[in-house]
Protein backbone atom coordinates (compact mmCIF):
# COMPACT_ATOMS: atom_id res chain seq x y z
CA UNK A 1 0.00 0.00 0.00
CA UNK A 2 1.26 3.44 -0.96
CA UNK A 3 0.42 6.84 0.56
CA UNK A 4 1.32 10.11 -1.15
CA UNK A 5 1.47 12.91 1.44
CA UNK A 6 1.96 16.58 0.63
CA UNK A 7 3.52 18.90 3.18
CA UNK A 8 5.17 15.84 4.69
CA UNK A 9 8.18 17.71 6.00
CA UNK A 10 6.54 19.00 9.20
CA UNK A 11 3.48 18.96 11.43
CA UNK A 12 0.47 16.88 10.39
CA UNK A 13 2.21 15.69 7.24
CA UNK A 14 5.31 14.32 8.95
CA UNK A 15 3.26 12.64 11.68
CA UNK A 16 0.96 11.11 9.06
CA UNK A 17 3.89 9.79 7.05
CA UNK A 18 5.33 8.19 10.17
CA UNK A 19 1.95 6.68 11.08
CA UNK A 20 1.58 4.97 7.69
CA UNK A 21 5.20 3.83 7.67
CA UNK A 22 4.87 2.24 11.11
CA UNK A 23 1.89 0.31 9.74
CA UNK A 24 4.01 -1.12 6.92
CA UNK A 25 2.97 1.19 4.08
CA UNK A 26 5.28 2.83 1.57
CA UNK A 27 5.15 6.64 1.55
CA UNK A 28 5.86 9.38 -0.97
CA UNK A 29 6.81 12.24 1.35
CA UNK A 30 6.40 15.37 -0.75
CA UNK A 31 7.42 18.88 0.20
CA UNK A 32 9.78 21.74 -0.48
CA UNK A 33 12.18 20.90 2.38
CA UNK A 34 12.76 17.21 1.68
CA UNK A 35 15.90 17.12 3.79
CA UNK A 36 13.54 17.11 6.78
CA UNK A 37 12.27 13.61 5.96
CA UNK A 38 15.77 12.14 6.12
CA UNK A 39 15.09 10.63 9.58
CA UNK A 40 12.19 8.68 8.05
CA UNK A 41 14.44 7.40 5.27
CA UNK A 42 17.05 6.36 7.82
CA UNK A 43 14.45 4.42 9.80
CA UNK A 44 12.24 2.97 7.06
CA UNK A 45 14.66 2.78 4.14
CA UNK A 46 13.35 2.13 0.65
CA UNK A 47 9.72 2.43 1.72
CA UNK A 48 10.21 6.22 1.82
CA UNK A 49 10.45 8.31 -1.33
CA UNK A 50 11.42 11.89 -0.51
CA UNK A 51 9.93 14.02 -3.29
CA UNK A 52 10.90 17.68 -3.62
CA UNK A 53 7.78 19.44 -4.86
CA UNK A 54 6.00 22.77 -4.51
CA UNK A 55 2.24 22.14 -4.72
CA UNK A 56 1.62 25.66 -6.03
CA UNK A 57 3.61 24.90 -9.21
CA UNK A 58 1.32 22.98 -11.53
CA UNK A 59 4.10 21.96 -13.92
CA UNK A 60 6.21 20.73 -11.01
CA UNK A 61 3.34 18.67 -9.56
CA UNK A 62 2.51 17.03 -12.89
CA UNK A 63 6.17 16.21 -13.60
CA UNK A 64 6.68 14.80 -10.11
CA UNK A 65 3.67 12.48 -10.36
CA UNK A 66 4.51 11.39 -13.91
CA UNK A 67 8.07 10.65 -12.83
CA UNK A 68 7.24 8.47 -9.83
CA UNK A 69 9.27 5.23 -9.80
CA UNK A 70 7.33 2.10 -10.66
CA UNK A 71 7.32 0.97 -7.02
CA UNK A 72 5.46 4.15 -5.99
CA UNK A 73 3.17 4.79 -8.97
CA UNK A 74 0.02 2.97 -7.88
CA UNK A 75 -0.88 5.40 -5.09
CA UNK A 76 -3.60 4.09 -2.76
CA UNK A 77 -4.09 7.17 -0.58
CA UNK A 78 -3.43 10.81 -1.41
CA UNK A 79 -3.26 13.05 1.67
CA UNK A 80 -3.61 16.67 0.59
CA UNK A 81 -2.04 18.12 3.70
CA UNK A 82 0.01 21.05 2.37
CA UNK A 83 -1.60 24.30 3.43
CA UNK A 84 -1.46 27.06 5.98
CA UNK A 85 -2.69 30.40 7.22
CA UNK A 86 -0.83 33.68 6.76
CA UNK A 87 -1.67 36.70 8.88
CA UNK A 88 -4.60 37.44 11.15
CA UNK A 89 -5.52 40.94 10.05
CA UNK A 90 -9.14 41.98 9.54
CA UNK A 91 -10.32 41.97 5.94
CA UNK A 92 -9.84 45.71 5.38
CA UNK A 93 -6.18 45.56 6.51
CA UNK A 94 -5.24 42.13 5.15
CA UNK A 95 -2.00 41.81 3.16
CA UNK A 96 -2.81 40.83 -0.41
CA UNK A 97 0.36 38.77 -0.77
CA UNK A 98 -0.69 36.69 2.24
CA UNK A 99 -4.10 36.14 0.66
CA UNK A 100 -2.56 35.09 -2.64
CA UNK A 101 -0.31 32.61 -0.83
CA UNK A 102 -3.25 31.06 1.02
CA UNK A 103 -5.20 30.63 -2.21
CA UNK A 104 -2.17 29.21 -4.02
CA UNK A 105 -1.39 26.57 -1.40
CA UNK A 106 -4.82 25.66 -0.04
CA UNK A 107 -6.82 25.85 -3.27
CA UNK A 108 -4.57 25.55 -6.31
CA UNK A 109 -2.22 23.07 -4.64
CA UNK A 110 -5.16 20.93 -3.61
CA UNK A 111 -6.56 20.95 -7.14
CA UNK A 112 -3.23 20.26 -8.85
CA UNK A 113 -2.30 17.27 -6.68
CA UNK A 114 -5.77 15.75 -6.86
CA UNK A 115 -5.94 16.14 -10.63
CA UNK A 116 -2.50 14.57 -11.05
CA UNK A 117 -3.22 11.43 -9.01
CA UNK A 118 -6.96 10.90 -9.38
CA UNK A 119 -7.00 9.47 -12.93
CA UNK A 120 -4.78 6.57 -11.85
CA UNK A 121 -7.07 5.79 -8.93
CA UNK A 122 -10.14 5.80 -11.18
CA UNK A 123 -8.38 3.59 -13.72
CA UNK A 124 -7.43 1.09 -10.99
CA UNK A 125 -10.91 1.47 -9.45
CA UNK A 126 -9.50 1.94 -5.97
CA UNK A 127 -7.98 4.74 -3.95
CA UNK A 128 -8.71 7.41 -1.39
CA UNK A 129 -8.28 11.18 -1.39
CA UNK A 130 -7.97 12.62 2.12
CA UNK A 131 -8.10 16.42 2.24
CA UNK A 132 -6.99 18.30 5.35
CA UNK A 133 -9.47 21.08 5.96
CA UNK A 134 -10.17 23.02 9.15
CA UNK A 135 -13.03 23.89 11.47
CA UNK A 136 -12.32 27.43 10.18
CA UNK A 137 -14.09 26.37 6.99
CA UNK A 138 -17.35 26.12 8.93
CA UNK A 139 -16.98 28.42 11.94
CA UNK A 140 -15.82 32.03 11.38
CA UNK A 141 -13.48 33.98 13.64
CA UNK A 142 -11.98 37.49 13.43
CA UNK A 143 -9.04 37.56 11.05
CA UNK A 144 -9.85 34.19 9.52
CA UNK A 145 -11.47 35.72 6.44
CA UNK A 146 -9.48 34.14 3.60
CA UNK A 147 -8.22 31.13 5.55
CA UNK A 148 -11.81 30.27 6.42
CA UNK A 149 -12.73 30.74 2.78
CA UNK A 150 -10.08 28.41 1.40
CA UNK A 151 -10.93 25.73 3.98
CA UNK A 152 -14.61 26.07 3.08
CA UNK A 153 -13.44 25.36 -0.48
CA UNK A 154 -11.62 22.25 0.77
CA UNK A 155 -14.83 20.99 2.38
CA UNK A 156 -17.01 21.63 -0.67
CA UNK A 157 -14.40 20.35 -3.11
CA UNK A 158 -14.31 17.09 -1.16
CA UNK A 159 -18.09 16.68 -1.31
CA UNK A 160 -18.14 17.39 -5.03
CA UNK A 161 -15.37 14.86 -5.63
CA UNK A 162 -17.63 12.28 -3.98
CA UNK A 163 -20.40 13.21 -6.39
CA UNK A 164 -18.10 12.94 -9.42
CA UNK A 165 -16.67 9.60 -8.29
CA UNK A 166 -19.99 7.85 -7.70
CA UNK A 167 -19.82 4.44 -9.35
CA UNK A 168 -16.10 4.04 -8.71
CA UNK A 169 -14.47 2.60 -5.62
CA UNK A 170 -12.44 5.78 -5.02
CA UNK A 171 -13.20 7.33 -1.64
CA UNK A 172 -12.93 10.93 -0.44
CA UNK A 173 -12.68 12.33 3.09
CA UNK A 174 -12.25 15.84 4.48
CA UNK A 175 -10.64 15.99 7.92
CA UNK A 176 -11.24 19.30 9.70
CA UNK A 177 -9.10 19.87 12.82
CA UNK A 178 -9.42 22.66 15.34
CA UNK A 179 -6.85 23.81 17.91
CA UNK A 180 -3.65 21.81 17.37
CA UNK A 181 -0.26 22.38 18.95
CA UNK A 182 3.22 21.09 18.23
CA UNK A 183 3.17 22.22 14.59
CA UNK A 184 4.50 25.23 12.70
CA UNK A 185 0.99 26.52 11.91
CA UNK A 186 0.96 29.56 14.21
CA UNK A 187 4.64 30.40 13.63
CA UNK A 188 3.91 30.55 9.90
CA UNK A 189 0.76 32.61 10.46
CA UNK A 190 2.71 35.12 12.57
CA UNK A 191 5.75 35.10 10.30
CA UNK A 192 8.16 33.50 12.74
CA UNK A 193 7.08 35.35 15.89
CA UNK A 194 7.49 32.47 18.34
CA UNK A 195 6.15 34.36 21.35
CA UNK A 196 2.98 35.33 19.53
CA UNK A 197 2.57 31.78 18.25
CA UNK A 198 3.06 30.30 21.72
CA UNK A 199 0.42 32.63 23.17
CA UNK A 200 -2.23 30.90 21.02
CA UNK A 201 -1.81 27.71 23.07
CA UNK A 202 -1.11 29.20 26.51
CA UNK A 203 -3.17 27.50 29.19
CA UNK A 204 -4.64 24.94 26.78
CA UNK A 205 -4.19 21.27 25.96
CA UNK A 206 -4.44 21.31 22.17
CA UNK A 207 -4.60 18.31 19.88
CA UNK A 208 -1.30 17.05 18.53
CA UNK A 209 -0.11 16.22 15.02
CA UNK A 210 -0.30 12.56 16.03
CA UNK A 211 -4.00 12.96 16.82
CA UNK A 212 -4.67 14.17 13.29
CA UNK A 213 -2.43 11.44 11.84
CA UNK A 214 -4.49 8.85 13.73
CA UNK A 215 -7.66 10.23 12.14
CA UNK A 216 -6.15 10.12 8.66
CA UNK A 217 -5.02 6.53 9.12
CA UNK A 218 -8.38 5.51 10.59
CA UNK A 219 -10.45 6.80 7.66
CA UNK A 220 -8.01 5.26 5.17
CA UNK A 221 -8.25 1.82 6.74
CA UNK A 222 -12.03 1.43 6.97
CA UNK A 223 -13.51 -1.42 4.89
CA UNK A 224 -13.69 -0.53 1.19
CA UNK A 225 -17.48 -0.35 1.42
CA UNK A 226 -17.27 2.53 3.94
CA UNK A 227 -16.59 6.17 3.03
CA UNK A 228 -16.09 8.63 5.87
CA UNK A 229 -17.23 11.91 4.33
CA UNK A 230 -16.12 14.43 6.95
CA UNK A 231 -14.30 14.34 10.28
CA UNK A 232 -14.63 17.47 12.42
CA UNK A 233 -12.38 17.33 15.46
CA UNK A 234 -11.46 19.78 18.21
CA UNK A 235 -9.43 19.79 21.39
CA UNK A 236 -11.65 19.17 24.41
CA UNK A 237 -10.72 22.64 25.67
CA UNK A 238 -12.19 24.22 22.52
CA UNK A 239 -15.88 24.71 21.76
CA UNK A 240 -18.30 27.27 20.29
CA UNK A 241 -18.77 30.87 21.36
CA UNK A 242 -21.98 32.85 21.73
CA UNK A 243 -22.85 35.24 18.89
CA UNK A 244 -20.71 38.37 19.02
CA UNK A 245 -22.68 41.58 19.49
CA UNK A 246 -21.13 45.02 19.27
CA UNK A 247 -22.83 47.54 21.55
CA UNK A 248 -22.49 51.30 21.57
CA UNK A 249 -23.16 53.60 24.48
CA UNK A 250 -25.76 56.19 23.55
Report pLDDT digits (tens) over 91-123. 999 999 999 999 999 999 999 999 999 999 999
Asked, for residue 250, whether it belongs to a domain, the answer is no
Report CA-CA distances (Å) from 88 to 28, 141, 210: 32, 10, 26
pLDDT recorded at residue 249:
83
Nearest alpha carbon to residue 12 among 206, 211, 173: 211
Asked, for residue 97, whether it belongs to a domain, the answer is yes
pLDDT recorded at residue 198:
81
CB 113 within 8 A of CB 86: no
Query: What domain range is 82 assigned to?
Result: 2-177+208-233
User: DSSP letters of 56-98?
Assistant: T-HHHHHHHHHT--GGG-S-SEEEE----------GGG--HHH
Number of C-beta neighbours around residue 173 at 10 A = 26
Report the catalytic residues. Answer: 147
Asked, for residue 238, whether it belongs to a domain, the answer is no
Asked, for residue 241, whether it belongs to a domain, the answer is no
d(C-alpha 215, C-alpha 208), whole Å: 11
pLDDT recorded at residue 200:
81
Q: Region 174-190: what's the mean pLDDT?
A: 83
Q: What is the CATH number of the domain that holds 88?
A: 3.40.50.720
> Which residues are CB-neighbours of 170 under 8 A, at least 6 positions away?
118, 121, 122, 125, 126, 127, 128, 129
- Name the domain count of the chain: 1
**C-alpha torsion 239→245→246→250, nearest 10:** -140
Asked, for residue 159, whether it belongs to a domain, the answer is yes
Q: What is the pLDDT of residues 234-248, one digit of tens each?
A: 999 999 988 889 989
Asked, for residue 111, whether it belongs to a domain, the answer is yes
Tell whether the model's pLDDT for residue 66 goes beyond 80.
Answer: yes
Tell whether the model's pLDDT for residue 78 goes beyond 80.
Answer: yes
- Report phi then psi at 139, rounded to 5: -115, 120
CB 85 within 8 A of CB 188: yes
Asked, for residue 202, whether it belongs to a domain, the answer is no
Find the largest Cα–Cα distance for the chain: 72
Asked, for residue 128, whether it belongs to a domain, the answer is yes
**What global pTM score does this model have?**
0.92
Amino acid sequence: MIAFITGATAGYGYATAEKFLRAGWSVVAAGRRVERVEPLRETYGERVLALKMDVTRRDQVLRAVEGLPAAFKAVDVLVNNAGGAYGLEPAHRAVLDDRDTMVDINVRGLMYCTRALLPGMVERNRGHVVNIGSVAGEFPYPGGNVYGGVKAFTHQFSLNLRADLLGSNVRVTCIEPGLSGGTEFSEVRFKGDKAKAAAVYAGTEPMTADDIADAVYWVATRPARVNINTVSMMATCQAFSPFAIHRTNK
